[in-house]
Amino acid sequence: MGRYRRTVSFPNPPSPNPRPAAKAGFHVRSASLPCGRSHPLIPQLREEVDELRAWNRARAGPGLGPIVTGLARLKGVLDSLDDVLQLPLTQDSLSSKTDVVERLLEDFLRFVDVYGIFRASILGLKQEVSAAQIALRRKDDSRLGLYIKTQKKIASEVGKLISAIGPVPEQPQVAPTTLPDYDDELGQVIRDVHRLTALVSEAVFGSVAGSFGPGRRPGWASFGLGRKVRKEEQGVIIGEVESLLELRKMNKGEKKRMNEEEEMRMKVLKEMQELEDCMGEMERESERVFRSLISTRVSLLNILTHA
């Protein structure tokens, strides 16, 4: 079977003599789908789900580079699920399972709310990074201190979003044997998308909270920011900013150390610029995930209202 990429294909209209067509479909499909009611979008979605699951297992540490990739892949999976939900075959299958659709609607509403808060937090963090660069150029130490406090506050808010996601659904949420043929395949892939949305969201929020807040040292290797800092318990940028402030106090106007201070200031400025660029990418990807979640929920709501 060829691969179909991001286009919605609707089933062909019934032929005048459907019985021979069904028989021909039976010969080319596996024995696990005896009625031949599968659709090419299902294997495509399954492939994207497997890729997202592999990303979730392989991501290393709380670094933000892989997180941007994870958000992009999550958006692709949600878009493919939305395509599947548009199929008349899917709508016929789910129209008789209103209890399942209602639970999905509640869970996806929670995802939408959480990503709405996350987008606002990322935007606030990006603005603080931009303002801190200005303060650092002007050597406004009081503004830099406020930047550090704001980072920790935002990190705390993002960390709380993990609990707002709710419990991650268990793998065997519904026994596959209760759904025949296409229903079985559809039900399994929907459960996988549901579960991965929760898992990936936890990874995203945890990495952001760990990278900017106290308690964990972030992994900045993918952004060229990995270096030993004076305060291991804080984020790299925060640690270097505080080190710079302490260096200024220690210098007390001594010219012999001005070059050292300036060199550190330029390094931190460069890292802040890279951080701001990263926040921009994360803001765009979280916006796309947010819109995909809304679109998927609208499709589920349409199925429920026409059931």
The number of CA neighbours under 13 Å toward the Cβ of 132 is 29
Structural domain contains residue 117: yes
Q: Is 187 within 8 Å of 179 (Cβ atoms)? A: yes
Confidence of residue 182 (pLDDT cuts 50, 70, 90): confident
Cα–Cα distances (Å) from 96 to 92, 107, 145, 240, in that order, read 7, 19, 58, 58
Domain span including residue 132 = 37-305
**Rounded percentage of the chain residues whose pLDDT exceeds 90:** 37
Least confident of 87-91, 109-113, 174-178, 297-301: 174-178
Is the pLDDT at 173 greater than 90, yes or no?
no
Confidence of residue 216 (pLDDT cuts 50, 70, 90): very low
Q: What is the rounded average pLDDT of the residues 114-128?
A: 93
Is the pLDDT at 284 greater than 90, yes or no?
yes
Among 74-78, 218-222, 226-230, 267-271, the range with the most confident prediction by mean pLDDT is: 74-78
Q: How many domains does the chain have?
A: 1
Structural domain contains residue 173: yes
Structural domain contains residue 27: no
Structural domain contains residue 22: no
Structural domain contains residue 13: no
Structural domain contains residue 14: no
Structural domain contains residue 49: yes
Structural domain contains residue 17: no
Q: Of all residues in the chain, what percent are helix, strand and coil, respectively (each to 5)? A: 75, 0, 25
